[in-house]
Amino acid sequence: MTDHGMKRGAGSPAWTRRLLLSGIAAGLSAPAHAAFTDRPIRMIVAYAAGGTGDLVGRMVAESLSQRLGTPVVVENQGGAGGAIAARVVSRAAPDGTTILLAGNAIFAILPHIANVGYDPVTGFTAIANISESQRLLAVRSTLPVTTLAELVQYGKRNPGKLNYGSSGVGSTLHVMTEMFRREAGFDATHIPFRGSAPGVQAMLSGDVDFMIDTVVIQHVLQGRLRGLAAVGESRLPQLPDIPTLAEQGYPNVRTSGWQALMGPPNMPPEIVATYASAVEAMLGDPAFRERLGRVGVVPSFRSPAQLAEDLREDNRQFGAIIRSAGITGE
């Protein structure tokens, strides 16, 4: 009788439903990617707390914690332009428990102008790209040019008259603008500022002629500055009528500005693949993409191999411009 009762319970519709529901619940709560460690993961963020880079780092850490089933703890180390953070990770054990979130300047520019204590190419393992920066080349509204071609012509016809601002000597935007200026073949004096905001303010007051930056976008939208070229792989969604530098005849200007996850050298391929798969799924989540968009960040996944190639090419091209222009650290 007991056996008969057990068989009836196991085969009953109610029992079957309970099994199905418990299986679904277990699937929903389980991490999407197999954990490779039961220890907390340190994500060293190469930005000070409170900025956009820090906000992105915390979003990424939260999502990876859920997907990997392992706590990912953010640790801010923004000193020395991010070199301190990079150095910590480059010397960490390659077991996947210490990773770095940083932008390409730490690998492509900083090592060419400072003694950073790490090799930007061989000192890390590329894991996955997270995002791209939105940037725009804009001019002051009183400059008598309305297109990029006119800016170049103006510079050639008025040698030494133009100037451009940047967020600092040796910054990504400084090197990027210098690369464009040299490719276009006109002279312009560099005016460095301590950050983007004072440079844009100088443009608004008429003291700076042009600038490549993210913060100029809002002023172009408001009609206070004039946008001439999107600086990146694609046009800006907010300003779709402004062509990219490449579309306007400058495909060789390196315009990449990315943020990525990197690990120590010699990380096992299976750990790298676990991270990359989790990041790809994370960036494919519409809700996560929307969260990034709210802080002005464009999600952009690239595989470990693609990221490693970008790192090498950025290092080569930016390094060549830095040496040619004689750019040194402040």
Distances (CA, A) of 246 to 15, 212, 232: 63, 15, 9
> Which pLDDT does position 33 carry in this prediction?
55
Domains 41-133+257-325 and 136-248 share a fold: yes
Q: Which of the four pLDDT bands, split at 50, 70 and 90, describes residue 18?
A: very low
> Which pLDDT does position 237 carry in this prediction?
85
- CATH assignment of 41-133+257-325, among 3.40.50.1100, 3.40.190.150, 1.10.1370.30, 3.10.180.10: 3.40.190.150
187-200 pLDDT, tens per residue? 999 999 888 889 99
Q: Report the pLDDT averaged over residues 254-267.
A: 91
Q: Calculate the dihedral angle through the C-alpha atoms of 243, 245, 251, 256, rounding to the nearest 10 degrees.
A: -110
Whether the predicted pLDDT of 9 surpasses 50: no
Number of alpha carbons in the 13 Å side-chain half-sphere of residue 318: 30
Whether the predicted pLDDT of 256 surpasses 60: yes
Whether the predicted pLDDT of 19 surpasses 70: no
Fold type of domain 136-248: D-Maltodextrin-Binding Protein; domain 2 (3.40.190)
Whether the predicted pLDDT of 183 surpasses 60: yes
The whole-angstrom distance between residue 171's C-alpha and the CA centroid of its chain comes to: 14
Q: Which of the four pLDDT bands, split at 50, 70 and 90, describes residue 79?
A: confident
Q: Which of the four pLDDT bands, split at 50, 70 and 90, describes residue 10?
A: very low
Contact 173, 212 (CB under 8 A): yes
> Which pLDDT does position 11 carry in this prediction?
45
- Out of 14-28, 153-167, 203-217, 241-255, pick the least confident: 14-28
CA distance 119 to 278: 27
> Which pLDDT does position 35 carry in this prediction?
64
Q: pTM for the complete prediction? A: 0.77
> Which pLDDT does position 285 carry in this prediction?
97
Q: Please indicate whether residue 92 or residue 9 has the higher confidence score (pLDDT).
A: 92
> Which pLDDT does position 168 carry in this prediction?
85
Of 188, 223, 234, 183, nearest in space to 208 by CA: 188
Distances (CA, A) of 6 to 2, 19, 20, 22, 23: 6, 15, 18, 19, 21
Q: Report the pLDDT averaged over residues 286-301.
A: 88
The ranges assigned to domains in the chain are 41-133+257-325, 136-248
Distances (CA, A) of 89 to 45, 111, 131, 256, 270: 10, 15, 20, 23, 19
> Which pLDDT does position 13 carry in this prediction?
47
E strands within 79-230?
98-103, 125-132, 136-140, 163-166, 189-192, 210-213, 225-230
Count Cβ atoms below 10 Å from residue 19 Cβ, excluding itself: 11
Q: Report the pLDDT averaged over residues 251-263.
A: 89
CB-count exposure of residue 69 (10 Å: 0-12, 13-18, 19+): middle
Count Cβ atoms below 10 Å from residue 305 Cβ, excluding itself: 10
Alpha helices in 186-330 (DSSP H): 196-204, 216-221, 269-283, 286-294, 304-325
Mean pLDDT for all residues in the chain: 88
103-140 pLDDT, tens per residue? 998 999 999 999 999 999 999 999 999 998 889 999 99
> Which pLDDT does position 37 carry in this prediction?
82
